[in-house]
Structure formats: C-alpha cells, structure tokens
Amino acid sequence: MTDLLSLEDVNVYYGPFHALRGNTLSVGDGEIVSLLGGNASGKSTTMKTILGLVKVKSGTIRLAGKDITNASTNFRVRSGIASVPEARRVFPQMTVDENLMAGAYTRRDKAGVAEDLARMRDHFPRLGERRRQEAGTLSGGEQQMLAFARALMSRPKLICMDEPTMGLAPKLVDQVLDEIVRINKELGVSVLLVEQQAELALSIASRGYVLATGEIVLQGAARELLDNPQIQEAYLGKAVPE
C-alpha cells in the first residue's frame, strides 16, 4: 500500500519539554489508522504537528511523497489534509450551510463548492433537512456529522479525527463509527483516528499506533493490538495473568 501520509523520526518540543520523541508513522492511501494513548500521551500534539499548528524540531512529514514539514496549515489543507477537532467545535450561531461553506474556505472553484454542498446534503440527509438551522441547536450526533461534512468540503485525501466519539451517548457512538467507515469506503478518504477508547478505534482500523509520554511504544495490525496483553490491561480494563 502506498503511503499517503508519513512522519519520519519526528521530534517536537514545547520549550524545553520533549513532546514527541522520534516518532515514525504512516497512513496508507484509503486506510483507517488509529492513534491510541492516554491523557498527555502526545496524541493531540501529533495531530497538531500533521496540521502544521506545531513546528517540527527535526524529522520529516510527507504527504503523497511531497515534503510538507515546513509548509503552512493553509497549504496542507489545500494539499488534502482536513481535520475534525475534539468536541466537534462547530460554529454554533452559524447555520448548517454556513458551517459547511466554512469548510471550503481554501477553495476558489465556486461551481465545485456548490456541487459539494449538494453532495453533503445528500450524503448526510439530516443536515440537508436542517440546512438553515443554527448549528448550536443540533444534537451531539448531528453536530458530529456536521463536523465530518465540513471537513469533507475541502475535498481532502486525509481526515485527522480527534476523539470523534467523545461525549456522545453509546447509541450514537456506533453511528459515528459507521459513518467514518462509510466516508472511508464510499468517498475513498484516508482517516487518522485519534482515540483513547482502543476497542472502538481498533474495531474499524486496519492498523494502530500506541503513544506513551510522546513516544510510539507499540504498533501493528489492529487485531494484533487488540489481542496484545499490554493493550488489554491499559485500555480495555482486562486483568492480565502474571
């Protein structure tokens, strides 16, 4: 499988604090990859680094083979990286359609944007029904779908999703995971899924990486990680016999 995104020996510092420690990871073209870890493990810093919100001290980031290590966030979005931030972060006082249009802020092809707006309404029928409704009045699940659709409006090759199931009722969690798979399969968009809930993330991913104190400590196929005693003990709450 061809790498769409790759990080090679990436180091990031916040002042004297070594936040990411020589990390190497990749997301293949058309692949769902999960990035796991507890609080302060470096998951969000990794996403910010990919988006260009945090500068790399050393190492290389490539998108479709091109070095984007020092590229601006705007350039990365135009090149095909989008994000779904933690806690959805829709614009509450803007309508659904206005939120969707905000996702296309880097684009200048008005006809294409109008076409994609209609496509998002078809792909997410509930959003089409509520197109003139303020986003802040939507349910949590609807806001998450809006966050997905807004990210898709930039026509991305890769979407980085930060804790997309956080704060949702259990019945909505399955809907969100199903939608991630649908976006991946039907639209051909690669996904880097940042999650604390290992079982959920690995259930839809092909591969995964585990971060601890800014360092990748485990990696492998999703099924192998689910069966790994360290994962079971740390993330799934299962006691591992000594």
DSSP sequence for 50-62: HHTSS--SEEEEE
Domains (ranges, CATH) in the chain?
3-235 (3.40.50.300)
DSSP sequence for 7-50: EEEEEEEETTEEEEEEEEEEEETT-EEEEE--TTSSHHHHHHHH
Provide the pLDDT for residue 88. 67
Provide the pLDDT for residue 235. 65
Question: How far is the C-alpha of 220 from the C-alpha of 33, rounded, in Å?
Answer: 10
Q: CA 171 from chain center: how many Å? A: 21
Provide the pLDDT for residue 40. 85
Q: CA 202 from chain center: how many Å? A: 14
Provide the pLDDT for residue 172. 85
Name the helix (H) or strand (E) containing 80: none
Q: What is the pTM of this model?
A: 0.90
Provide the pLDDT for residue 87. 67
φ, ψ (nearest 5 deg) of residue 235? -120, -25
Provide the pLDDT for residue 76. 95
Provide the pLDDT for residue 237. 52
pLDDT (tens place) for every residue of the chain, 242 residues total: 789 999 999 999 999 999 999 999 999 999 999 999 888 899 999 999 999 999 999 999 999 999 999 999 999 999 999 999 876 688 999 999 999 999 998 888 999 999 999 999 998 999 999 999 999 999 888 998 999 999 999 999 999 999 888 888 888 888 889 999 999 999 999 999 998 788 889 999 999 999 999 999 999 999 999 888 877 777 655 544 44
Question: How far is the C-alpha of 168 from the C-alpha of 142, rounded, in Å?
Answer: 10
Q: Other C-beta atoms within 10 Å of 149: how many?
A: 25
Question: How far is the C-alpha of 137 from the C-alpha of 82, rounded, in Å?
Answer: 24
Q: Other C-beta atoms within 10 Å of 78: how many?
A: 14
Question: How far is the C-alpha of 95 from the C-alpha of 142, rounded, in Å?
Answer: 13
Provide the pLDDT for residue 229. 84
